[in-house]
Chains A and B, each alone.
Chain A
Amino acid sequence: MSSYSDLKQRADEHWQSLVAGDRPWIRVGAAMCGHAAGASEVLGALRAELAARGAEANVAEVGCLGLCFAEPLVDILRPGSSRLFFDNVAPGDVPALIDGYLLSGAVRGREPLGYLGDAPIDGVPDLNDLPGMRLQERIALRNAGSIAPGDVLQYVANGGYAGLNKALFDMDAGGVIKEVTDSGLRGRGGAAFPTGVKWSFLVRSPGPPKYILCNCEEGDPGAYNDKGILESDPYTLLEGMTIAGYATGASNGFVFIRHGHDGPIVRTEEAIEQAYGAGLLGRNILGSDFSFDVEVSLTGESYVAGEETALMESIEGNRSMPRSRPPFPAAAGVWGKPSNINNVKSLAYAPEIISRGSGWFSSLGVNRSTGTAIICLSGAVRRPGLYEVPMGVTLRQIVDEIGGGVPEGRSLRLLQTGGPLGGVLGADGLDIHLDFEEMSEAGAILGSGGVIVADDTACPVDVTRILVAFCQYESCGKCFPCRLGMTHLLEVVERIANLEGRVSDLGLMETVGQTMQAGSLCGHGQLGFNPIKSALTHFEADFRAHIEEKRCPAGRCPMPKLTPRNMRPFADELRRPAAASAAP
């Protein structure tokens, strides 16, 4: 028997013991969203109340099912039944859940959110029919919220490593690259470069060593899908990296994560350890002659560390300042060795592309944007969450159908997509389709997949100010157009937001922005004017009201400027003497 079918058999037995054993299985959403909503307290209460009753149940921390608005989300699988989901569970709800549904099987009291499984539960909707789920097509997130991220057998039982097994034993490296190229998969880290083509560059580079680098810096505020994948199903990434390693002839992989994001770090390292234990990493993977090692590399807090060459500097232990290209990573990457860098999502798709075929993947989506988009929907919507939808759906479907629209009585004012370097859109942006080309023509990149919604209580100038403050704070300082330009832009935007703007400011920002675009070394400076440029396109009237009428139409500005201490060490001192001399 091959080592994969051996493993699969063990995994299936393990899974059967969980889903069809004699103990109920309780799963609690415990990704960052779940923890922020109070999952640890709920877990504590569950364990204590079960113990107090002498009740037997498996209690597992799982990742994010995507329904962050429902966190803490608890689901109970009673033997022979389906998973029954309870949303927004507080520790005080736990005794009733145990005495009610868990022990007696009666659904009463608290109304469940839905069920998942083959056996319908009376009077409860199928979770997949809920508006938040209906439009979704979950590929990279297929196991998220359903398997324990620290258990490789649960991943294998659900089809995991079938793709790698197929690649290793039924395909040669060229075949794997062709499959990924044919799938139309494009990088999900921002630039949308075809993943298969990128891999083919590394094939031609000499090695060993050659490196596969996975980028989970994800410093963009409003983005949590990469961290979400690592916290919910790290194996899909590890399998994808291993497939990339096989296809390109690489020997080593690094998963690059920001220090302090403990959920993703701990779960990825657990997953790596188990993968080694199961023969899925290390020497002679699954009994083949392919060997591949993976480790986690931590970076300090720096948004620019997510830029591909800065990331390599950081792995080497230096300041994460971008390098100039060429040489490109495939020629000289980390430690000068050939490297390939991909976003978490790009790599996480690979297992299913290989196991289900490129045709299946490319049948999803539109035009040159195949597959799915993994959207972090946050802000003024009723159902913020982590949603995986086929490419080609509109932002309106995401915001209104999935997200439930803006809260009662409010209207949508502004959308911010693709991280702080992406653009802002007005309400008419809702009709844009998730299509790389259509998005960028509209001045709004899909980027990291963040979609932030603001309602009519928000001021577009104030939102722009926060975005520019972030970009200024994160400029690495290596090249002056960005270092000085961002500081200058922030100064100007802040003065407009303070209702102290000058009529010449709009032109001034344009000049500075164009210089940054033309003269900056990396994408941070080149795109750093985007927030202002797009805001001016859609909200010029608001800027003019602030400047010409000294009035904030939304009634928010001026707002206190609360930004980190080391951001403008001298700004406060410069303002102070003027204030002092004005005093009597």
Chain B
Amino acid sequence: MTSDSDRLRERVRRSLDSQKRPTVTVLSSLLAAHDELGYLPEEAIEEVAAYAEASINDVWGVASFYTNFRFTPPAGRIVEVCWGPTCHLAGATDVLLRVQRELGLTGEGETADNRVTLKYNTCLGACSQAPVMSVDHHLKGRVTAETAGEAVGALMER
């Protein structure tokens, strides 16, 4: 019988093998594993170390450095809100407060029912449409506290 852990390893190995860009490194492998699983469990770190012929310690070193990596499973939906200066000037604080209230959170993290992950972003790259948020990586610009709250509320209802 295969355990959950074996299945995770298998998925990670497949994602590592199917990297399409010619240059494969610890970082490219971590990104591939993270794309596959949404987070980096210990199994992924170990598989990347074996695959890239690096020490587990070195792989942790890289994984813990970049802020996009996470080490626990995310919720099913991901909401990101930009706190960059343009968005801040356009009212990102109100948007964030409202989004947090809808989600019952006081900062980044997962809702109690594990449906939604909230993440802050330093700049979502669409500053001309500030304030900006994204739902499952789909950008939404020119939001207000109300429209952002509604978008997030809809995720919680479903």
Residues of A within 8 A of B (CB): 32-33, 35-37, 40, 68-69, 71, 218-224, 227, 254, 259-262, 295-303, 314-321, 376-380, 384-386, 416, 420, 450, 452, 454, 458, 462-463, 466-467, 470, 473-474, 476, 559-560, 562-566
Contact = CB atoms under 8 A, between A and B. Distances in A.
- Shortest beta-carbon contacts, A-B, top 5: A317-B25, A300-B66, A221-B84, A36-B141, A68-B128
Contacts of A462: 88
A469 to B, nearest CB: 8
Contacts of A36: 124, 126, 129, 132, 139-142
Nearest to B62: A319
B103 to A, nearest CB: 13
Contact of B128 (A260, A377, A560): A377
A36 B68 CA distance: 21
Contacts, number: 173
B23 A301 contact: no
A454 B125 contact: no
A37 B23 contact: no
A42 B140 CA distance: 14
A297 B85 contact: no
Given A35-B139, A420-B85, A386 B65 contact: no
Contacts of A466: 83-85, 88
Given A32-B124, A301-B67, A560-B93, 16 more contacts: A35-B138, A69-B128, A220-B123, A222-B86, A254-B23, A295-B22, A298-B27, A300-B27, A301-B68, A315-B25, A379-B89, A379-B90, A384-B130, A452-B86, A466-B88, A564-B67
Nearest to B20: A269
Given A301-B67, A319-B61, A562 B93 contact: yes
A155 B89 CA distance: 38
Interface of B: 21-23, 25-31, 52, 61-62, 65-69, 82-90, 93, 96-97, 107-109, 119-120, 122-130, 132, 137-142
Contacts of B96: 562
The listed residue with most B CB atoms (<10 A of its CB), out of A300, A320, A566, is A300
Contacts of B137: 260, 262
Given A37-B141, A473-B122, A564-B120, A318 B27 contact: yes
A384 B108 contact: no
B142 A37 contact: yes
Given A303-B122, A319-B61, A565-B109, A416 B67 contact: no
A529 to B, nearest CB: 17
Contact of A474 (B90, B122, B129): B122
Contacts of B132: 36
B9 to A, nearest CB: 21
11 contacts: A221-B87, A221-B122, A299-B66, A300-B67, A300-B69, A317-B52, A379-B86, A384-B127, A384-B128, A560-B97, A562-B120
A220 B84 CA distance: 9
A462 to B, nearest CB: 8
Contacts of B142: 36-37
Residue of A259, A296, A317 contacting most chain B CB atoms (<10 Å): A317
A407 to B, nearest CB: 11
B123 A300 contact: no
A562 B121 CA distance: 11
Contacts of A254: 23
A40 B138 contact: yes
Contacts of A565: 107-109
B120 A224 contact: no
A380 B89 contact: yes
Contacts of A37: 129, 141-142
A378 B28 CA distance: 33
Given A32-B126, A376-B127, A260 B68 contact: yes
B22 A224 contact: no
Nearest to A67: B128
B31 A259 contact: yes
Nearest to B68: A301
Contacts of A319: 61-62, 65-66
Contact of A224 (B87, B122, B128, B140): B128
Given A36-B132, A376-B128, A301 B123 contact: no
B66 A301 contact: yes
Contact of B84 (A40, A297, A470): A470
